[in-house]
Structure 1
């Protein structure tokens, strides 16, 4: 798997079924932007979760090859009572699942949240050795 910049419009254009599913399942649902990189020992994912995010409103799940971040951004109680003239900030459910570049150990994952950035660190699986396969000529 190659890592490159996220191009949401290209992804929508290449997966029309996914676009239709997202339209049907949840108008207004946002997908946080996520960067994923790997080191010799771990895979690190950082996600933008600005605003009013409470750790109890965020759920992080991982398998051996995927990471999912989902949750809800809520308005402050004060804001719910206001009669807004103009509002552009996102409030509501969010969800994002990304494939990981290598197999990981999800049971050893850790997460931190600081200044609007969620960071998830997952150790690489120990048996991720590549083996060159010789070709027999007949």
Structure 2
């Protein structure tokens, strides 16, 4: 039983580490992922491009509910609303987009490149039933807020046994 509890705690810590960054693309996130050090020498540009193409950034989200609503928030600083795509189907929410660094083609020698630029995506199953046609999405101050009206669950009816 102690082994199960220790494994559960380790899994919880891994999830917390994964959600600590807005866009996950960091060496310290998981030993399973192939990643490249953010500091690049001027002679090796293939490994960086391959890692970027193979592992798109993942958007970190907060999901919580109130009495009447389910709210999903995501930090999307630097992303224009025209570059965001939000969709829902059968309780599955998908947020995707592109984060552009602008024109840095004139850069000849990177010293540090820690910011994630490029495509990102996040798909998650919503934890409660929502009215998919009653939703509002607002992008303000770099935070995307998606608010759903929850489907009211009827209380269980007591059945009289005769």
| TM-score, structure 2 normalization | 0.61
Equivalent residue, structure 1, for 2:37: none
Q: Aligned pair in 2 of structure 1 residues 6, 113: CA closer, same or farther (>3 Å)?
A: farther
How far 1:55 moved relative to its partner? 0.8
Q: Is the aligned partner of 1:81 residue 2:89?
A: no
Equivalent residue, structure 2, for 1:62: 88
Is the contact made by 1:64 and 1:104 (CA closer than 8 Å) also made in structure 2?
A: no
Q: Distance in 2 between matches of 1:120 and 1:129?
A: 25
Q: Is the aligned partner of 1:29 residue 2:56?
A: yes
Q: Aligned pair in 2 of structure 1 residues 42, 82: CA closer, same or farther (>3 Å)?
A: same
Equivalent residue, structure 1, for 2:125: 99
Q: How large is the Cα RMSD of the aligned pairs?
A: 3.4
Q: Aligned pair in 2 of structure 1 residues 50, 66: CA closer, same or farther (>3 Å)?
A: same
SS at match of 1:107: strand
Q: Distance in 1 between matches of 2:59 and 2:13?
A: 14
Aligned residues: 121
Equivalent residue, structure 1, for 2:15: 7
Which blocks of at least 5 consecutive residues in structure 2 are unaligned?
A: 1-11, 19-28, 34-52
Greater C-alpha radius of gyration: 2
Q: Distance in 2 between matches of 1:99 and 1:42?
A: 16
Specify which structure has the bigger relative contact order, considering alpha-carbon pairs within 8 angstroms and separated by 6 or more residues: 1
Q: Distance in 2 between matches of 1:57 and 1:6?
A: 30
Q: Distance in 2 between matches of 1:49 and 1:119?
A: 10
Which blocks of at least 5 consecutive residues in structure 1 are unaligned?
A: 20-25
Equivalent residue, structure 1, for 2:45: none
Q: Distance in 2 between matches of 1:68 and 1:31?
A: 11
